[in-house]
Structure 1
Amino acid sequence: MSTFATPPGGLPPQTHLTTNGAPARFTQAYAVLPRATMTDIVSSLLPLWEGTRLWVLARPLSGFAETFSQYVVEVAAGGGSQRPEEDPRAEAVLFVTTGTLTLTLDGSDHELTPGGYAYLPAGASWRLRNDGGATATFHWVRKAYEEVEGVAAPEALVTHESAVEAVAMPGTDGAWRTQRFVDPTDLRHDMHVNIVTFEPGGAITFPETHVMEHGLYVLEGKAVYLLNEDWVEVGAGDFLWLRAFCPQACYAGGPGRFRYLLYKDVNRHARLRW
Structure 2
Amino acid sequence: MERPSYYAPTGGHPGQEQLLTDRAMFTEAYAVVPKGTMRDIVTSFLPFWEGTRLWVLSRPLSGFAETFSQYIMEIQPGGGSDRPETDPEAEGVIFVVEGAVTLTIGGSIHVLETGGYAYVPPGSDWTLHNRAGPVARFHWIRKAYEAVPGLPAPDPVIANERDIAPTPMPGTEGRWATTRFVDPADLRHDMHVTIVTFEPGGVIPFAETHVMEHGLYVLEGKAVYRLNQDWVEVEAGDYMWLRAFCPQACYAGGPGRFRYLLYKDVNRHMPLSLTRR
TM-score w.r.t. length of structure 2: 0.97
Matched residue, 2:151: 151
Amino acid paired to 1:79? G
CA shift, 1:7, in A, is 1.4
Moved over 4 A (4+): none
Amino acid paired to 2:28? Q
CA distance in 2 between partners of 1:185 and 1:2 (Å): 26
1:2 aligns with 2:38: no
CA shift, 1:153, in A, is 0.9
Matched residue, 2:192: 192
CA distance in 2 between partners of 1:63 and 1:130 (Å): 35
Matched residue, 2:98: 98
**Equivalent position SS for 2:41:** helix
Using the TM superposition, name which of 257-266 and 8-17 deviates more.
8-17
Unaligned 5+ runs, structure 2: none
Q: Deviations over 1:182-222 (max 9, x none)?
A: 11111100000000000000000000000000000000000
The count of corresponding residues between Structure 1 and Structure 2 is 272
CA shift, 1:161, in A, is 0.5
TM-score w.r.t. length of structure 1: 0.98
Residues 55-74 of structure 1: pairs in structure 2 closer than 5 A: 55-74=55-74
Residues 235-274 of structure 1: pairs in structure 2 closer than 5 A: 235-274=235-274
1:166 aligns with 2:166: yes
**Equivalent position SS for 1:142:** strand
CA distance in 1 between partners of 2:122 and 2:163 (Å): 24
1:12 to 6, 11, 14: 14
Q: What percentage of residue pairs aligned between the two structures are identical?
A: 67
Residues 72-221 of structure 1: pairs in structure 2 closer than 5 A: 72-221=72-221
CA shift, 1:152, in A, is 1.2
Amino acid paired to 1:10? G
Q: Deviations over 1:220-273 (max 9, x none)?
A: 000000000000000000000000000000000000000000000000011111
Amino acid paired to 2:237? G
